Structure 1
Amino acid sequence: MRHAPLSLSLSMILAAGTLAGCQPATLPISDTPPASAPAASVASDARFEQVAESLLMRALERSPEWSIYSGRYDNAEKLTIPDAARRAEDLAFARAALAELEAFDPQQLPASQRIDHMLLGNQFESAIWYQQQFRDWAWDPSNYNVAGTVALLLNTPYAAEDARLRTVMQRIDRVPEYYAAARANIEDPTTEHVELAIVQSRGALSVFDDELRKRIAASGLESAEKTAFNQRIDDARGAIEGWIGWLEDKQAQLATSGDARSFRIGEAQYERKFAYDIQSHYSAAELYRRAVEEKEQLHARMDDITRELWPKYLAGTAMPQDRLERIGMMIDHLSAKHVERGDFVDEIKRQIPTLAEFVREHDLLDQDETRPLVVRETPEYMRGSGAGASVSAPGPFNPTADTYYNVSPLDAYTDEQAESFLREYNHWVLQVLNIHEGIPGHYTQLLHANKSPSLVKSLLGNGAMVEGWAVYSERMMLEQGYGGQEPEMWLMYGKWNLRVVTNAILDYAVHVRGMTEEQAMDLLQREAFQEETEAVNKWRRVRLSQVQLTSYFTGYAEIMDLREQRRQALGEDFDLKTFHNRFLSYGNAPVSAIAELMAEQYPAQ
């Protein structure tokens, strides 16, 4: 399960990025310099703040797509055409931005601005690398899809219905040109990404369906506008259908030739992508080794719990000598306890208020009860990537919009597949999932993030921090007594946490070490105890993405380390709620940067 993408390479942001936004937090960071600060230093700080904000505003203006996902709709009627001319402009913009940043010495800036400087520099440097070296614009056709922004404009009440419809009407005018550019870009696609693009593009057609035409008919638009709008819908659908047909032809060519580009990106590109995307003090190889060690430790703890539970559940069954076999038998036995297929979404809706109440009762962190989490079925244009649940949050410029918990329905599953899925998300694991995606995981963190006074930290968020917080929140809730300290819950948490660990192992092993599908399925099913449906989905996902699967474990490990460092430094003065609120108040900065800020602004006495 994962959160909808929080940040992309800046090349994608500038062109057609999708940045999920956030919502306000508490305990804002003060960047106000002390009264004794030299005037020159104060002036430099102010200049940097102006430059940072200017760079962001110019980038947002250049990318209507990024603006829309950030909750800013000033230029929403414009559609970016991802052609060669645009890429040249993006490259020039990134280089010019780096030149502006080079005018400042980061070591002379306050801590918070130092982090902003680092985040901006990383994003613009990565923009150049993504465009010139990684070049996924040329081999990943799933990058091209106009449905997301259109759906967001239609479903977000940021303005009156007629105004939003007029914006969409203008926005879709150049859809045929958009897909013509996409076809021109794709040179050497992978089979896997062609397949994903086909699935998601078919889903995109659902945004331009009869429901939209009904809304147009019922609107206050002029008759001529309605006619023009319907014609543009026809043209957009025709362009998408033409794109799908082109992809299907490409798919057939790749199947016939047998020499499609590999989805594996190799060690050199993986390490560089890891450095840009994760921004950790670990290298990718170091993170992989730590994950392998953590897997062994988890197995040992889960074995202890299995031995404890054996007399209760499997007293009449001989306990196998093999550790993984006996753990697997206990998990298999417990997994039979799960919600009915037809009640899956309703059960998730039921659990969210329960989690919020637990957080309130135990005073674990601040919540915003005015912004409830909306559980919905995952829109069709977002399906197909292998992630069964995600959170779509409003951008920082539209903080009052709804946050959605997207849950993929089980309609497409056979009875056997549905049973496998429900066993994977059994009585205990489903609760951990809802902590991760909802409260106090992604949803809560995103509610806090926009109250960081730094737009840089909100808009250029670090995925490892975001995913790491969701994973950390699972462990923290159980530590604080959620689940009643039941050994069954801790065993299933161990199984769930093995996902985080094996995500990191799998991603590196597949893309760098050449792990085969057979080896991957053994890791996922035998060593991580995943049901077949989940393992198949994960194998699909690892072929469609790179590095992102490591973000969970990296962020989690760094947050746990930071919490214990603060606990040791503060001693009796350490307070868990204060730690959480302060941590979340820094927006979506990398954990290493947050650690630096916390040490500087809240030093141990």
Structure 2
Amino acid sequence: MRKTCLSLFLAAALAGCQTAPPPDAPREGAAAAASREAGFPAVAESLLMRALERSPEWSIYAGRYDDAATLTVPDAQRRAEDLSFAEAALAELAAFDPAQLPPDQRIDHMLLTNRFESTLWYLSIFRDWAWNPASYNVAGPIGLLLNTPYADEDSRLRTVMARLERVPDYYRAARASIEDPTPEHVELAIVQSRGALSVFGDGLRERIAGLGLDAAERATFETRIDAAREAIQGWIDWLEGEQARLAERGNARSFRIGPDLYEAKFRYDVQSDFTARELYERAVAEKERLHAQMDGITRQLWPKYFAGTAMPQDRLERIGMMVGHLSQRHVAREDFVDEIRRQIPLLAEFVREHDLLDQDESRPLVVRETPEYMRGGGAGASISAPGPFNPTANTYYNVSPLDGYTDEQAASFLREYNHWVLQILNIHEAIPGHYTQLLHANKTPSLIKSLIRNGAMIEGWAVYAERMMLEQGWGGQEPEMWLMYGKWNLRVVTNAILDYAVHVEGMTEAQAMDLLRREAFQEETEAVNKWRRVRLSQVQLTSYFTGYAEIYDFRERLKREQGEAFDLKTFHNRFLSYGNAPVPAIVGLMGEGR
């Protein structure tokens, strides 16, 4: 359920702590004076556009291609420039008192301030640029340029050719930046870098040969492809050497970030009214509530599926038996991706028939196999959505194929994504989950709220959409569907528990597998992937439950306050109209009638 989300600088600014100001950074005094003379919207827009210009990679993901030919080299000088730019930006923002701004502008001020403050924190304190080699990969933006028809093929290929020129410099900078990597992130970097080689393979050479590039351009392109592949392969070789060295040394850096870094990262990334500890405690309580609910459904279904079989005394055991039995109903291995494609229009029709929220049929969803350079992080499905500068581009539903699984692993995976759960997955990823929400976000008049994406709002909406669809009748109110929804929702809850417990409390692999397998009823393949994922990320796994809890609480409060006047479609459209802002900010805006 991981999503492809944008970061303001972190994809391009991945290392170092020098403080020499970049040529384009405003002086603090001049910035403050200019800010006082200009209205806040003009200053905010200026900051946003300067940030985009400084990060061609972010611009590409946002659908803006003005600087797409430039590849950012993540060296120490670049990190120093990013620090200086963020400090200067904060000085400009400090010229405005948020309390004196209208509510909508107040949120933009908060989003920009949080983003630049988090940039400083990531670069100078968290410093994952020094220990996470998986942060370095040139394939993503180039893959987007090759697959997004924002211009004719010749122009896009020339843009790619220009970016390729600095690929060797990019990987030299990456190698120089890594100081003390974790073994887990080295392994991920190797897997994804091997996938990156596929972007620069025969398919790209065939596209070059078939287009209007002259002989000199084709020769330059071929040379640069060869140099890029050599640089990536050299990076892989170096990573494999690091992997062997870390294994021999035996005392490598831990992937656990500890309580102080965790609370700070939660504050910057999630922007919730919860603290990380409060969210963890609520998740523990929600796990108990779900177990009680699922037990009631299991007792109801027992005579239907286990007539004549004694019901176990242990609650988790009897729920697990029922879940295991129902999980045997699933699609064939070879039909997995096709079944996802089949369900998407059915979900869209259900939303139309029940008038749940606005859709846009002019912007279809494309189901595809997950590109190789995106695989290996532990997520089987994700959404790649266009940014607001190119909102009509394709949105991709990435589905990882089961080709690399053994028969046993594939069977486990299909039991996890069984007949009922696969439907909930598609609600989450597609309609009316991520795909629908991001379409709405691209239409918000505030570029800031659209471009600065809050993961908890995005993930929380998708989780909320699952429950809302079942409440409205998807699945026919079958108890089997609600039992499997409980199992699925336990993933969200245990994500939050697992992430905090692993990184803050030192939960072991055995304890994690017990939580996932026995208490959340997950198949072994799913649990193993989640253990892998929690070692490769921090805080992101909490975003699902955080956003969901905040959205659901807000909706239920409005229903109590408005009574019969409450309209679900109006609530959904208004909520989604505020882009990707944090849920507490949206609650504030809707509460003030904005």
TM-score by length of 1: 0.94
Query: Aligned pair 1:419/2:418, yes or no?
Result: no
8 Å Cα contact 1:504-1:549 kept in structure 2: yes
Residue 65 of structure 2: which of 70, 73, 86 is its match?
Answer: 73
1:12 equivalent in structure 2: 10
1:24 equivalent in structure 2: none
Residue 254 of structure 1: which of 219, 242, 246 is its match?
Answer: 246
2:19 equivalent in structure 1: none
Residue 577 of structure 1: which of 569, 574, 577 is its match?
Answer: 569
8 Å Cα contact 1:45-1:110 kept in structure 2: no
Residue 132 of structure 1: which of 112, 121, 124 is its match?
Answer: 124
Alignment CA distance shift 1:45-1:344 (3 Å): farther
1:328 equivalent in structure 2: 320
Between the aligned partners of 1:71 and 1:317, the Cα distance in structure 2 is 58
Deviates further, 303-312 or 451-460:
451-460
Between the aligned partners of 1:279 and 1:60, the Cα distance in structure 2 is 22
1:316 equivalent in structure 2: 308
1:372 CA displacement: 1.0
8 Å Cα contact 2:41-2:105 kept in structure 1: yes
2:198 equivalent in structure 1: 206
1:14 CA displacement: 5.4
2:362 equivalent in structure 1: 370
1:286 equivalent in structure 2: 278
8 Å Cα contact 2:385-2:438 kept in structure 1: yes
Between the aligned partners of 1:224 and 1:188, the Cα distance in structure 2 is 43
Q: Which runs of 4+ in 1 moved over 3 A?
A: 43-46
2:462 equivalent in structure 1: 470
Query: Aligned pair 1:55/2:47, yes or no?
Result: yes
SS at match of 1:391: strand
8 Å Cα contact 1:7-1:463 kept in structure 2: no
Residue 441 of structure 2: which of 449, 470, 474 is its match?
Answer: 449
Between the aligned partners of 1:211 and 1:51, the Cα distance in structure 2 is 44
Between the aligned partners of 1:64 and 1:407, the Cα distance in structure 2 is 27
1:149 CA displacement: 0.7
Between the aligned partners of 2:218 and 2:12, the Cα distance in structure 1 is 32
SS at match of 2:548: helix
8 Å Cα contact 1:2-1:437 kept in structure 2: no
Query: Aligned pair 1:510/2:502, yes or no?
Result: yes
Deviates further, 119-128 or 45-54:
45-54
2:148 equivalent in structure 1: 156
Residue 337 of structure 1: which of 326, 329, 336 is its match?
Answer: 329
Alignment of 1:182-221 (within 5 A): 182-221=174-213
Whichever residue aligns with residue 244 of structure 1, its letter is I
2:552 equivalent in structure 1: 560
Between the aligned partners of 1:206 and 1:141, the Cα distance in structure 2 is 19
1:45 CA displacement: 11
> Deviations along 1:269-325, whole A, 9 cap, x unmatched?
000000000000100000000000000000000000000000000112110000000
8 Å Cα contact 1:11-1:130 kept in structure 2: no
Between the aligned partners of 1:512 and 1:338, the Cα distance in structure 2 is 37
SS at match of 2:361: coil
Identical residues among aligned pairs (%): 77
Between the aligned partners of 2:571 and 2:84, the Cα distance in structure 1 is 41
Whichever residue aligns with residue 218 of structure 2, its letter is K
Alignment of 1:79-98 (within 5 A): 79-98=71-90
8 Å Cα contact 1:16-1:80 kept in structure 2: no
2:422 equivalent in structure 1: 430
1:461 equivalent in structure 2: 453
Residue 298 of structure 1: which of 284, 290, 303 is its match?
Answer: 290
Between the aligned partners of 1:488 and 1:404, the Cα distance in structure 2 is 30
SS at match of 2:39: helix
Between the aligned partners of 1:11 and 1:163, the Cα distance in structure 2 is 26
SS at match of 2:10: helix
1:2 equivalent in structure 2: 2
Between the aligned partners of 1:320 and 1:75, the Cα distance in structure 2 is 64
1:495 equivalent in structure 2: 487
8 Å Cα contact 2:93-2:113 kept in structure 1: yes
1:244 CA displacement: 0.0
1:549 equivalent in structure 2: 541
Whichever residue aligns with residue 77 of structure 1, its letter is A
Between the aligned partners of 1:14 and 1:417, the Cα distance in structure 2 is 36
In structure 1, stretches of 5+ residues that fail to align are 18-42
Between the aligned partners of 1:381 and 1:594, the Cα distance in structure 2 is 34
SS at match of 1:498: helix
8 Å Cα contact 1:7-1:460 kept in structure 2: yes
1:7 CA displacement: 3.3
8 Å Cα contact 1:11-1:131 kept in structure 2: no
8 Å Cα contact 2:11-2:135 kept in structure 1: no
2:580 equivalent in structure 1: 588
Between the aligned partners of 2:545 and 2:144, the Cα distance in structure 1 is 31
1:16 CA displacement: 7.3
TM-score by length of 2: 0.96
> Deviations along 1:444-503, whole A, 9 cap, x unmatched?
000100111111111111100000000000000000000000000000000000000000
Whichever residue aligns with residue 424 of structure 2, its letter is V
Whichever residue aligns with residue 7 of structure 1, its letter is L
8 Å Cα contact 1:16-1:66 kept in structure 2: no
Whichever residue aligns with residue 85 of structure 2, its letter is F
Whichever residue aligns with residue 15 of structure 1, its letter is A
1:412 CA displacement: 0.5
Alpha carbon RMSD of aligned pairs, Å?
A: 1.2
8 Å Cα contact 2:9-2:55 kept in structure 1: no
Whichever residue aligns with residue 209 of structure 1, its letter is G
8 Å Cα contact 1:16-1:63 kept in structure 2: no
8 Å Cα contact 2:14-2:79 kept in structure 1: no
Structure with larger RCO (C-alpha < 8 A, sep 6+): 1
Whichever residue aligns with residue 220 of structure 2, its letter is A
Deviates further, 567-576 or 377-386:
567-576
SS at match of 2:514: helix
SS at match of 2:501: helix
8 Å Cα contact 2:12-2:73 kept in structure 1: no
Whichever residue aligns with residue 148 of structure 2, its letter is T
Whichever residue aligns with residue 466 of structure 1, its letter is I
8 Å Cα contact 2:9-2:58 kept in structure 1: no
Whichever residue aligns with residue 276 of structure 2, its letter is A
8 Å Cα contact 1:11-1:128 kept in structure 2: no
Query: Aligned pair 1:105/2:97, yes or no?
Result: yes
Between the aligned partners of 1:230 and 1:398, the Cα distance in structure 2 is 29
Alignment of 1:525-544 (within 5 A): 525-544=517-536
> Deviations along 1:113-142, whole A, 9 cap, x unmatched?
000000000000010010110000000000
> Deviations along 1:368-407, whole A, 9 cap, x unmatched?
0111110000000000000000000011100010000000
8 Å Cα contact 1:144-1:182 kept in structure 2: yes
Deviates further, 593-602 or 138-147:
593-602
SS at match of 2:3: coil
